Chains A and B, each alone.
Chain A
Amino acid sequence: MHALDIKLLRDFQRLWGQALAIALVLACGVMILLTAFGMHRALDDTLTAFYDRNAFADVWIDAEKAPRGLLKEIAEIDGVQIVEGRIQKYLMLDLPGRVESATGLALSLPESGDLPHLNIPILRSGRLPSVSATDEVMVSEPFAQANGYQIGDSFSVLMSGQKRLLTITGTALSPEFVYAIGPGSLMPDDEGFGILWMPQATLEAAFDMSGAMNSITLSVSRDAREDQVLNDLDTLLDPYGGTGAYGRELQTSNAFVHTEIAQLKNMATILPPIFFGISAFLVNMVIGRIITLERAEIGLLKALGYTDLHIAVHYVLLAGLTAVLGIIIGWGTGGMSARWMAGQYADYFKFPYLIFNVSYDAYAISGVLALLTAALGALRAALGAARLPPAVAMSPPAPPRFKRSAFDRMMNAARMSQPTMMIWRSILRWPVRALMSAVGLAFAVAVMISVGFFSHSLDTITDIAFTQSNREDAVLLFAQERPLSTLEEVRRLPGVLEVEGELYAAVKLRHGHLEKQLSITTRGAGATLARSIDTNGHVAEPIGDGLLITNRVSEVLDLQPGDLVEVEFMTGRRETHTLAISAVTEQFFGLGAFMTRDAMAALQRRAPHISVANVTLDADQADAFNQQIKDTPLIASTVRVTDMKDGFTESIDENISVMNGLFIIIAVLITVGLTYNSARIQLSERARELASLRILGFSNWEVSYVLIGEIMLVALLAQPIGWLIGYGIGVLMANSFSSDLYNIPLVLPPAAYAQASVVVLGTALASVMVVRRRIDRLDLVSVMKTRE
């Protein structure tokens, strides 16, 4: 091994503390990149494989009741490959041992007794129900597992007013329900919602659908024009109550999984550059300082005949070794966390298997990025070293030139002590260095704020969604739209205190070239249970025949109050109307639009109807209410709002605390990396100066004050910068997490800023205190003797 290489390794060994601090920051970038890439790829590969192998459909359309004969005509639409008709119905389930009702989505299996050709369920245990059996059912695996069902177990279901006992013959997973969410729910509830595959004949008989279907799925060829197929389908199904054809992007389960995949991609692009940037800065700072300390050695190397290239490479390699350490740590932790997180996702989304291919490209990219980062950070300093003229390099550097400035007069006027003046002079003498350190620390603050806002946002979401907007205890979904008088029947159910009705109407909203499919919610005037809250936190009600829209709709359709929007109804008379936007409300889940019951009835030219009833309940009569619901044919399913709220906060809280914890660690690592290195450098730069102070009779603590003071002053200056950057990243993150399914508001109370600042300042102080101990051990005589 060459002597220069031996020097490299020994230098690295000597600098291990500083190198490790940098390597850990670099490792964070590598780890997040690997984790996000790895999860993204695992999710994408698994989804693609599941979709391909199990023939996930390309297009869906639901109708009220269409003859099966129509399938032949649909098959003739240009580009259609496979078309299948089925019966689908939401059913009220009465599960043994469960007080509340549950909801099942019944799907008919083909008459042949085989599996369907599209959205093929993958059998996980048992068998399909027999074609002729009227009491057999195959259920979704998560539903069976959550309820502890075995093959052969039974539960009751209400079908067309009749209660039937069904026996489980098998369990399955379907590409259509990777993310299975019940009607009206915000999140999956495996215990309360299941998919029920049943023989076609059973459902035909139960729902008077002989020779008919109400759900059609199809696959189209790669070169087909999907919008054309959707239009043709709408036209064909129009007479049979078609509710509008849609493609994969609007299929609920697919949309959720893709939103998640897109978020992972965002995470991989927003966060790692921050870590790499900070690492580059740290490397620059440390290598730059080493070079200043090693001027004599650099001069010597030159005197001995080493070339500029030799010297530049030597210092870049020192940074390279640090990068290698970071890469090893990042690869180790990133590989593990990618696999672990992918497993979590596979669990969260219902995949039958997980395809986890090690993304060698992600390893390569993260490694190359880390090396480049370190090399770039070292380059400026290394080139500077190479350019040092050998004779100059061997004489000690001239003392830094301090100049008297307006600041000095201010400091004098402020009667600052000499140590305090030393602190300020040093910062003012190297303002760029102080600024860069402050910006680095600001990123530590920013990282915490940019993630810390989630818990505050979710508090706001919970408050607006559950405390202010949805104040009902339960939502009862009717099997069909009902006249308003049905509310009286609901009022007579045991335990019902208040009741209000809502009607959902599926529409397409058009504004210029922008279009969105959603449903308009219609409420009675003065509704107090379910209501809308405007962006100022006040209750907002639609006025006259105006339309109230949610903030997300306002954004995606570029609609402001006063604008006109075209509304195409997809059910009933299927008319198109032009309505005015009356106000914009705040809503965090899905897309929404609201209008008054009277205005809707006028548009539909019929008496007011409702599709759900919102109720508040007397807690003492909950059991009687639940029991009664299970036997009420009128109600297809129920949503327990309180359960939903609990489930929501519970599942989110867990994720948030894991994420907050992770980002606190990251902020701490960045802070340690920066302050520990700064303090070490300060100490080596000022060893003579500080030792002189000690010799002049200053105490250890008075001398420590100079070191601690400068670092902490820079850390303090970093706080407002960090708050600003954190806010900016927060905006980026909130935007990147927002989709048509949900959006996250940026909520940053003072506590969020304070928490970030306390963690960063505390960590900075702890780091500098570790270095401070070296002042106690300062060998006064030898320090004064060293040449520099």
Chain B
Amino acid sequence: MAQPVSEKVFHTEDLVKTYQTGSTEVRALDGVNLDLFATELTVLLGPSGSGKSTLLNILGGLDAATSGRVEFRGRDLTELSDRALTKYRRDHVGFVFQFYNLVPSLTARENVQMVTDIAPNPMSAEEALARVGMSDRIDHFPAELSGGQQQRVAIARAIAKRPEVLLCDEPTGALDSTTGVQVLEAIRHVNEDLGTTAIVITHNAAIQAMAHRVVRFQDGNIASVSTNDTRLKPTDIEW
């Protein structure tokens, strides 16, 4: 499968993010220039501390850059107010985290409803859960679900708003390979069926095989970008 030719969703220019820890300054992002395109599934690879998560947080409007530009469909995110960033996240972005971050006091359906309650044009919680194959566990609490099931609920929660971008931070990091594959399947479905731009962070190199493009990070910057001419299905990936 070739990379679809389409419009730019994200565009970054000289993106820098520094943190102060104690007396030392850590440069998490060191002048990143990157374009990401609609309907593309991109995998960000790299060792921990290489800046992948920081980039994802900034793209998702969770964190602010120290300098440089981030555009979402031509709009500069760095200039948005806190309120506008909140609206941006609410309307356009779906997040999936390594540790699922489900609310333990809410059932699978209710966790998804957290999003459908506030999103402008959501699908139903039932539909979102059906898309990740969780229809039969809809009224279970997180504690009653396996790790893979919890992550699929988290994906259902992320896609229920019909986001333009799905940002996944180590979605399989806490899972064994069998359940990890189920989660990656769910992400692929969302990308293909709904045309959602997906960005998946992983340090598991095997996963890059399912991406349209692979961006490798090293020391806060992009080391290389490659395009897969042929993509594997998650079920065909082995790790």
Question: Do residues A307 and B86 form an inter-chain contact, with CB atoms below 8 A?
Answer: yes
In the bound complex, CA of A303 to CA of B115 (Å)? 10
By a CB distance below 8 angstroms, the chain B residues around A305 are 86-87, 89-91, 93, 115, 118-119, 161
For A619, what are the chain B residues with a Cβ–Cβ distance below 8 Å?
none
Does chain B have a CB within 8 A of A787? yes
- Considering only CB atoms, which chain A residue lies closest to B105 in the complex? A10
Contact B106 A3 (CB under 8 A): yes
Binary CB contact string for chain A from 288 to 311 against chain B (1 if under 8 A, 0 otherwise): 000000001101111111111010
State how many angstroms separate the Cβ of A384 from the closest Cβ of chain B. Answer: 15
A3-B111, A307-B86 known; A302 vs B105 contact (CB < 8 Å):
no
Is A787 touching B95 in the complex (CB atoms < 8 A)? no
Residues of A1-42 at the interface with B, using a CB-CB cut-off of 8 Å, are 2-4, 6-7, 10-11, 14
Is A452 among interface residues, defined by CB-CB distance under 8 A? no
Interface pair B115/A304, CB less than 8 Å apart = yes
Give residues 253-312 of A contacting B (CB, 8 Å). 296-297, 299-308, 310
Residue of A nearest to B21 (CB): A398
The count of A-to-B residue pairs whose CB atoms sit within 8 angstroms is 78
Asked whether any CB of chain B lies closer than 8 Å to the CB of A537, the reply is no
B106 adjacent to A300 (CB under 8 Å):
no
CB-CB under 8 A for A394 and B105, given A301-B114, A305-B87 = no
- Distance to closest chain B CB from A382 (angstroms): 17
**Chain A interface residue number, banded:** 20 to 34
A730 within 8 A of B: no
- Residue A391 at the B interface, CB < 8 A? yes
Q: State the CA gap A6–B110 with chains docked (Å).
A: 8
Q: Which residues of A contact B93 (CB under 8 A)?
A: 303, 305
Q: If the complex has contacts A3-B114, A3-B117, A391-B57, are A307 and B105 also in contact, measured as CB distance less than 8 A?
A: no
B114 touches A4 (CB 8 A): yes
Which of B96-104, B192-200, B205-213, B222-230 lies at the binding interface? Answer: B96-104
User: B105 to A304, Cβ gap below 8 A?
Assistant: no
Interface of A (DSSP majority class): helix
Tell me, in angstroms, the Cα distance from A2 to B101 when the chains sit together: 19
C-alpha gap A4/B91 in the complex (Å): 18
Judge if B63 is at the interface, Cβ distance under 8 Å.
yes
Distance A302 CA – B118 CA, assembled complex (angstroms): 12
**Beyond A3-B117, A7-B105, A389-B63, is A304–B95 a contact (Cβ under 8 Å)?**
yes
Indicate whether B145 reaches chain A with its CB closer than 8 angstroms.
no
**Docked complex Cα distance between A301 and B103 (Å):** 10
Whether B62 and A390, one on each chain, are in contact in the complex, defined by CB atoms closer than 8 angstroms, is yes
1/0 per residue, CB under 8 A from B, across A386-405: the answer is 00011100100000000000
Residue B234 at the chain A interface, CB threshold 8 Å = no
In the bound complex, how far is the Cα of B57 from the Cα of A296, in angstroms?
14
Q: CA–CA, A3 to B114, complex, Å?
A: 5
CA distance A308 to B84 in the complex (A): 12
User: Which of A3, A301, A306, A389 is most buried by chain B, counting CB atoms within 10 A of its CB?
Assistant: A3
Q: Which residues of A contact B83 (CB under 8 A)?
A: 307
Is B82 touching A308 in the complex (CB atoms < 8 A)?
yes
**Alpha-carbon distance between A300 and B106 when the two chains are bound, in angstroms:** 14
Among A6, A310, A391, which residue has its beta carbon within 8 angstroms of that of B106? A6
A3-B86 CB under 8 A given contacts A10-B105, A305-B91: no
Closest 10 CB pairs of A and B: A305-B90, A10-B105, A3-B113, A391-B63, A391-B62, A3-B114, A390-B62, A305-B89, A391-B57, A300-B101
Given contacts A303-B60, A389-B63, 13 further A-B contacts (CB under 8 A): A2-B117, A3-B117, A7-B103, A7-B114, A296-B101, A299-B62, A300-B97, A304-B90, A304-B115, A304-B118, A307-B83, A308-B86, A310-B118
Q: Which residues from chain B sit less than 8 Å from chain A, CB to CB?
A: 57, 60, 62-63, 82-83, 86-87, 89-91, 93, 95, 97, 99, 101, 103, 105-106, 110-111, 113-115, 117-119, 157, 161
12 contacts between A and B (CB under 8 A): A3-B106, A14-B105, A296-B99, A296-B101, A300-B95, A302-B89, A303-B60, A304-B114, A307-B86, A310-B118, A389-B63, A390-B62
